[in-house]
Structure 1
Amino acid sequence: MGDVRQLRDKQPDSEKITINLGFVDLGRIDLLVKEGFYSNRSDFIRTAIRRQLDTHGEAVEKSIERHTMELGLRDYGRTELEQLRANGEVLHVKVVGLARIASDVSPDLARATIGSITVLGALQAPADIKKALADRIK
């Protein structure tokens, strides 16, 4: 039993959303699924969303650049935030995608180093960090 290790909880790699569709649109999607064009409703919806994002790709890129945002996954850990605090710097988090604040970051360190958080996508952080930064999350 000495070799037993606790596995970390797997972090989700996507966010669940809910949408409302009219019955006719839903029926048309179900027909395409039934005919084998898509494996299920979610597959159809993901494909449609990706196509729309591809269509507007240039506008998205320009907007990210204009707003000086980072695209993708961005992790913030204790070491990075302690370095910012030592340098007297304040971080303004601006991410399109997923921003994660590590569990080794204390609420005091987060408040001392993070001036604002803007995330278009999802923010993953311990509950005490989210509570400490609630007034800074946009």
Structure 2
Amino acid sequence: MPRRASTANEKSGEMEKITVNLGYVDLGRIDLLVREGFYSNRADFIRTAIRNQIEVHHSTVAQTIERHTLELGLRVFDKAALEAARAEGERLHIKVIGLVRIADDVTPDLALATIGSITVLGALQASAKLKAALADRIR
């Protein structure tokens, strides 16, 4: 693993926006719970419901992470980290649940020389050029 790659947990302030379609009755029930003070807003309700479901499946998620050797959280790869990997002759196989960010200072040539594969369950943030160069390595 490159020395200069950083990690953080899901409380790092990074969020991905998603869209959820709900029926009017469900939406009304959510609005009722918000109005009664159980939740501060619709988004608070939805985030809480998602966290509760993830907790219900906690052991399955933990076993899957271990089985697939996935990292959890935020992984940032910059030029220095990838150059260190290249100097050590290391080929990275990135597996993350969360967010992978490849810094703007990483060139497509450097990424191709050091990244063997990328598996992200969450989001990958990288320039369009990097994503195009690594397209066949992103799973």
- Tell me the amino acid that sits aligned with residue 78 of structure 1: K
Report the Cα distance in structure 2 between the residues aligned to 1:83 and 1:47, rounded to whole angstroms: 40
**Is it true that 1:72 corresponds to 2:73 in the alignment?**
yes
Q: CA deviation at 1:13?
A: 1.2
Report the Cα distance in structure 1 between the residues aligned to 2:80 and 2:37, rounded to whole angstroms: 50
Q: State the partner residue of 1:95.
A: 96
Q: CA deviation at 1:127?
A: 1.9
Report the Cα distance in structure 2 between the residues aligned to 1:130 and 1:78, rounded to whole angstroms: 16
- Tell me the amino acid that sits aligned with residue 76 of structure 2: D
Identity %: 69
Q: Which of 1 and 2 has higher RCO (CA within 8 Å, sep 6+)?
A: 2
Within-5 A mapping of 1:1-138: 13-138=14-139
- SS of residue matched to 1:95: strand
- Tell me the amino acid that sits aligned with residue 63 of structure 1: T
Q: State the partner residue of 2:8.
A: none
Q: CA deviation at 1:136?
A: 1.2
- SS of residue matched to 1:63: helix
After TM superposition, the runs of 4+ consecutive aligned structure 1 residues lying more than 3 A away are none
CA deviation profile, 1:20-39 (whole Å, cap 9, x unmatched): 11111111111111111111
Report the Cα distance in structure 1 between the residues aligned to 2:84 and 2:47, rounded to whole angstroms: 40
CA deviation profile, 1:57-110 (whole Å, cap 9, x unmatched): 111111000001111111111122112222332111100111111111111000
Considering only CA atoms, is the larger Rg found in Structure 1 or Structure 2? 1
Report the Cα distance in structure 2 between the residues aligned to 1:135 and 1:18, rounded to whole angstroms: 28
- Tell me the amino acid that sits aligned with residue 96 of structure 2: V
Report the Cα distance in structure 2 between the residues aligned to 1:85 and 1:39, rounded to whole angstroms: 48
- Please, which runs of 5 or more residues in structure 2 have no aligned partner? 1-12
Which shows bigger deviation, 73-82 or 58-67? 73-82
Report the Cα distance in structure 2 between the residues aligned to 1:16 and 1:24, rounded to whole angstroms: 23
Report the Cα distance in structure 2 between the residues aligned to 1:115 and 1:19, rounded to whole angstroms: 34
- Tell me the amino acid that sits aligned with residue 18 of structure 2: I
Q: Count how many residue pairs are aligned between Structure 1 and Structure 2.
A: 127
Report the Cα distance in structure 2 between the residues aligned to 1:69 and 1:103, rounded to whole angstroms: 24
